[in-house]
Amino acid sequence: MLFVLIPTYMISGFLGSGKTTVLLKLIEECERKNQRVGVILNELGEVNIEKPLFQKQNVKELLNGCICCTIKKDLETTLDELIEEAQRNKLDLLIIEGTGVSNPLEVKKVLENPVYSSHFRLYSMISLIDSSTFLEYQSVFSSTADIRKLLEEQMTSADVILLNKQDLTKEKTLNKTIRKIKGLAGDSVPIFQTTYGRVPLEELWKRRIDHSTSTHSSTEMREEAAHSHHHSGLQAIKIAPVPMVKKQELEHWLSHLPKTVLRGKGVVNLAGHEGLYSFQYSSNTLEFEKIQQQAGIHPAIILIGDRIQRTELLNSFNRIGKR
């Protein structure tokens, strides 16, 4: 039986950089072209709070761990399932979105295993960077060594970089960020300055990895970094059940969380508004979107951060509306 290699794309980027927004754009394009796309979606927490965004897609969820280390075996099992789908002619393309704290090189190593490289062909590793927070996370005064190393790994593994959220970034900061990225990733890696991940999709679909030269020196230089993990202190905390809240009170609570909380997202029932809303909080920006298909969805909040204190966060949330 002749088997066609499945084009595979990896999306990485630190917490809140805009990975899911780009993923949804790619999925929409596949649907317009009647391509059967499989998605591996990895979440650090115990629940995928963004599940309402993927109700119609072939999504494989890998939860409560990171596919580059703690649940790598789950990744392999999922790839085995996708191989079976491909053999039944039910898969044309695969997109993998790692957690915001995953090392893409570890995922690449799995795909390069002969067991999987005979079925999947990695075309490109796409990395997103939040231009509004990058320099802060690179500073020794405002971040940990683990976070700085993790950001470097996500950049140096990239075949293309989306420097996202430029609308939230001053030009001087943006230029300094670009110089820093080029110093780490090199001049040969294309960088696109984007807002909401908007970039010509043909740039994302390009096949940027030449497997005939996969053992060249730059890959060898990266190999050592792929054996370490730099997110031992990063964790996700789930808050549930979540009672109805006022939008203004939720905004106030999120904006006053400890700086160790790097990312927030969830599903809430807003007082004075009908139905459920999903929210995304990062870069000191809060965005809401009404959930259209609400069956089976329950309000919950996920907070991700560096050595965050569960009890402290729960107590602060329980004080909402009691001021």
For residue 250, how many other CB atoms are within 10 A of its CB? 25
Residue reference for tokens 């950049």: 155
Using CA atoms, how far apart are residues 71 and 76, in angstroms rounded to an integer? 9
- Per-residue pLDDT band at 217 (split at 50, 70, 90): very low
Quote the pTM value: 0.89
SS3 244: coil
What tens digit of pLDDT does each residue of 231-283 get? 557 889 999 999 999 999 999 999 999 989 999 999 999 999 999 999 999 98
Separation in Å, CA 171 to CA 131, 176, 187: 10, 9, 20
CA 187 to chain centre: 24
Least-confidence region, from 38-52, 71-85, 120-134: 38-52
- Whether the per-residue pLDDT at 120 is higher than 70: the answer is yes
Of the two residues 1 and 250, the one the predictor is more confident about is 250
Q: Encode pLDDT of 29-47 as tens digits.
A: 999 999 999 999 998 878 8
Model confidence at 222: pLDDT above 60: no
All domains of the chain in start order, with CATH: 6-227 (3.40.50.300), 234-318 (3.30.1220.10)
pLDDT value of position 163: 98
Q: At which residue do the structure tokens 């259209």 appear? A: 292
